[in-house]
Structure 1
Amino acid sequence: MRNKTMSRGAFLLASSIALAQCGPAEETYTAPTEATAPQPTDPAAVAGADKLAAPDLARVCRATVAALNDHDPDIVKVSGNSGELVQVRYADASDGKVWTNECRVIGNRVILRTIEAFGPQSGKGRWRTAPMDEIITYKIEGPEVSVTTKYSETSSSTETFILPN
């Protein structure tokens, strides 16, 4: 019994020394509240952004969510449109989960965030504007809406949908 106790003690001592060598614990990231001042990467902070008509903004957001999630845009429905911010929803055919996204356009760039992705009351996700996030752009030509997603300097994809006004 004494050998087991000494072995456990030696293990705990060695573990403590090894963990101490890791350094101090990193600070935990705390997301800013909605009431904080807009950051430069926040779509609301960009002045002089081109404005799309509300119906075109809805088409762009539907096409973007469809392209990013490999869905037919017919299942992506607009659930809110202020003319500057569009909310869209779709039910995933594989599991029936309803996904909600908010979308804004600045120039030709589309910026998204999820809403309650982790269940009811989980809140709004972050705007996808971090340096490592994909860059999504759009182009409208008549009834066609093209969405280009740039993942890196050498990787991108473009999808075009027919979405009449």
Structure 2
Amino acid sequence: MNTYTSPVPMPALDATAPEIYREIYGMPMFVITPTLDLEASKDFWIRGLGFVDLFSIPGQLTHLRRWAFQDVLLVLGERMGEAPAMSVNFSCVLSEIEATAARCEELVPGCASEPREMPWNSVELTVVTPENTRVVLTAARPIDLDGPQAAALREQGFHFLKK
């Protein structure tokens, strides 16, 4: 069996987030988010959502990143209406959910939902950013590998990687 190293840690109650990934790579996926206020949006994504400014072209764009393959390009442009223009999900770990919600709420009151347990075995936090992007942070919950949920998944052909 081939092993695959993911930037996302295995689900665990004590999982820790990987470091910010600053290497340059061919991005398999990224989000482009237009904003009327590049500096305010950049500040929210960095201080609220935990991204870093990988690089900026002043007055034009900012390339933000969290973990590997979590890239966002903020570009100067029109806001896409009142309803969230786009929705994007990013993996995180359980310990990041509450702190991220608190930081975002401090910056823009009312922008974050209450974290919710989802039927697909995750906890999710939804945040609407100043430029009106719906960001969902998804933290996987651990599966008891000896329990009925894991047994049912194995019967369907799923395999579990060991920690």
Shorter-chain TM-score tier: under 0.3
Q: What TM-score do you get using the length of structure 2 for normalisation?
A: 0.24
Q: What TM-score do you get using the length of structure 1 for normalisation?
A: 0.24
Greater Cα radius of gyration, structure 1 or 2: 1
* Larger RCO of the pair (alpha carbons < 8 Å, separation 6+): 2
